[in-house]
């Protein structure tokens, strides 16, 4: 694997079609300053999500795993003025930094940041009869991805696009004897995806500025 080349080409692509403005740059910087992990999506992945959002004319979005709101900002910027995002983060420190970044981006009116465990918030949204979402981005803890997806389906309508990040994990997904709970989580998830009658799905391998990984993309039938 030529990681250096992938990074250079990713830089080339992002300079061309996915340049970061100061808000996005400062969001990444804020993670460093707050001692948070640099595990946000890349600019090219942010632009990819925007294209997917535009393709399905998304207005209502659910995101699991906010971190510093880097992906949330990319997502919200692809929505119409009356578009809304609910984003879920269980770490209060991450949520605090995220809400500062959302305010700096001028997007506080469109983004509803919920502090809590993704599983609890999903169940709460279902119990309250929340209107279905047009687009769901799953990027929180990996072991319960299957359960998150099943619950997300209950908050979907035919045509809802569901994208789940980090499902290849540097190819570790091929290791049937793994003891890594994250890898086991995505193996179980990928298998479910392959057999689920209610969706059509694929998995795209991703290389670039981030480590070798992949995104699952599913459309609800």
Contact residues: ligand SAM, CB under 6 A:
39-41, 64-65, 67, 70-71, 88-91, 94, 117-118, 139-141
- Of 65 and 214, which CB lies nearer to ligand SAM in the complex structure? 65
In the structure encoding, which two tokens stand for residue 137, read together? 């981005």
Look at the block and give the residue holding tokens 């991703």: 206
Reference 63, options 45, 89, 99; nearest CA is 89
For residue 55, the minimal CB distance to ligand SAM (Å) is: 20
Tell me the backbone φ, ψ of residue 95, rounded to 5 degrees.
Answer: -65, -35
Cα separation, 123 vs 115, in Å, equals: 14
- Of 46 and 83, which CB lies nearer to ligand SAM in the complex structure? 46
For residue 91, the minimal CB distance to ligand SAM (Å) is: 4
Alpha helices in the chain (DSSP H): 3-17, 22-33, 43-55, 70-77, 92-104, 118-127, 145-153, 181-195
Category of 129 on φ-ψ map: left (φ > 0), alpha (ψ -120 to 50) or beta: left
For residue 90, the minimal CB distance to ligand SAM (Å) is: 4
- Of 7 and 91, which CB lies nearer to ligand SAM in the complex structure? 91
How far is the CA of 55 from the CAs of 40, 68, 78, 172, in angstroms? 23, 26, 10, 31
For residue 5, the minimal CB distance to ligand SAM (Å) is: 23
For residue 163, the minimal CB distance to ligand SAM (Å) is: 11
For residue 74, the minimal CB distance to ligand SAM (Å) is: 8
- Of 127 and 177, which CB lies nearer to ligand SAM in the complex structure? 127
Residues 19, 43 contacting (CB under 8 angstroms)? yes
- Of 85 and 199, which CB lies nearer to ligand SAM in the complex structure? 85
């Amino acid at each position: 694997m030529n990681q250096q080349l992938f990074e250079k080409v990713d830089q080339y692509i992002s300079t061309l079609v996915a340049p970061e403005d100061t808000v996005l740059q400062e969001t990444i910087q804020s993670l460093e300053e707050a001692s948070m992990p640099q595990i946000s999506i890349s600019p090219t992945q942010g632009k990819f999500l925007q294209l997917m959002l535009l393709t399905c004319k998304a207005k209502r979005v659910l995101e699991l795993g906010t971190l510093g709101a880097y992906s949330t900002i990319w997502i919200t910027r692809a929505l119409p003025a009356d578009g809304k995002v609910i984003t879920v983060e269980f770490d209060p420190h991450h949520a605090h930094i995220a809400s500062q970044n959302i305010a700096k981006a001028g997007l506080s009116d469109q983004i509803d940041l919920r502090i809590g465990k993704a599983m609890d918030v999903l169940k709460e949204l279902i119990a309250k009869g929340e209107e279905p979402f047009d687009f769901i981005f799953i990027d929180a803890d990996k072991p319960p991805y299957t359960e998150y997806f099943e619950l997300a389906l209950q908050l979907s309508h035919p045509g809802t696009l569901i994208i789940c990040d980090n499902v290849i994990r540097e190819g570790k997904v091929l290791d049937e004897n793994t003891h890594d709970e994250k890898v086991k989580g995505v193996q179980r998830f990928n298998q479910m995806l392959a057999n689920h009658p209610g969706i059509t799905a694929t998995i795209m391998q991703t290389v670039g500025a981030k480590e070798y990984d992949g995104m699952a993309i599913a459309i609800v039938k």
